[in-house]
Amino acid sequence: MSKKYTTVAIAYDFDGTLAKGNIQENSFIPELGMDKEAFWKEVKKITKDNEMDEILSYMFLLIKKAKEKEMSCKKENFKKHGKTVEYFSGVEQYFTNINEYAKNKSIKLEHYIISSGTKEMIEGTSIAKEFEAIFASSFKYNVDGVAQWPALAINYTTKTQYLFRINKGIKNAWDNSSINEYTPPKERPILFENMIYIGDGATDVPAMKMLNYQGGTSIGVYPPNTRGAKTKAQELLQNNRANYIAKADYSNGSEIDQIVKSILDQISLKASVKQYTE
């Protein structure tokens, strides 16, 4: 009997999970002539003054400040800023390593981004090619390719929607008919129990809790060598929001590497037992 492959999805937040800080802070905000604290303080003010979603506020302010500085708001320019991202240790090698491990366990591993960060910048990173889909906040562009309006704003609660899209095999953000159609859970392309969510904080809590409830696994990561970061991450465990926590170090043999591999082992074993008992 030939062994069937089981499809497993890992969904990642981006900022603070795979990359250090917020992606806009690497080069875009400095080019605006602002420090990051001033930028996010202004975002908070716009949000409060206008009873506005904070993601929409930061997207609005990026465009407003860029126009004031006569900076290009073309998609290509946003992508260029993705090249300046600084990853946590081991990130660029992690995907090859974990894919190979999964393959040896008869698992087809798919990777996804679910982020409030700027999609166009994430698309410009060296690891963008690793993802089946990048669900992140993005802009609508005019005929000249210039950003003119938010096309998609992903906040902490809407992140859960994209786990359902992955579950149903929908790799875009616009198909609302398929996601609302009833499909028996066991007939969906990727079962929730075969999904892992990796995030770094409060904005990931609804996605973590939802996936845990559905039988999947969530992992909270925290930056190494940052005072109080581990204590804060431990709250995710204590409040039953994350199943595991680990330093944001993706090197081969690191905590998170071993955790993900152990989850893949469990999924592989369960699939094997199911196959041979059917």
Q: Provide the residue-wise pLDDT of the chain in tens; the chain has 278 residues.
A: 456 889 999 999 999 999 998 899 988 999 999 999 999 999 999 999 999 999 999 999 999 999 999 999 999 999 999 999 999 999 999 999 999 999 999 999 999 999 999 999 999 999 999 999 999 999 999 999 999 999 999 998 999 999 999 999 999 999 998 888 888 888 899 999 999 999 998 889 999 999 999 999 999 999 998 888 888 889 888 888 999 999 999 999 999 999 999 999 999 998 887 766 65
Instruction: Tell me the C-alpha distance between 3 and 206, whole Å.
Output: 35
What amino acid occupies position 161? Q
Q: In the numeric block, which tokens belong to residue 262?
A: 């152990």
- For residue 248, the number of C-alpha atoms closer than 13 Å in the C-beta half-sphere is 28
Q: In the numeric block, which tokens belong to residue 126?
A: 């060296």
Other Cβ atoms closer than 10 A to 221: 30
Contacts of 250 by beta carbon, 8 Å cutoff, 6+ apart: 18, 88, 89, 90, 91, 93, 94, 256, 257
Please state at what angle helix 91-104 crosses helix 255-277, rounded to 10 degrees: 20
What amino acid occupies position 250? Y
Domains with residue ranges and CATH for the chain: 6-24+85-277 (3.40.50.1000), 25-82 (no CATH)
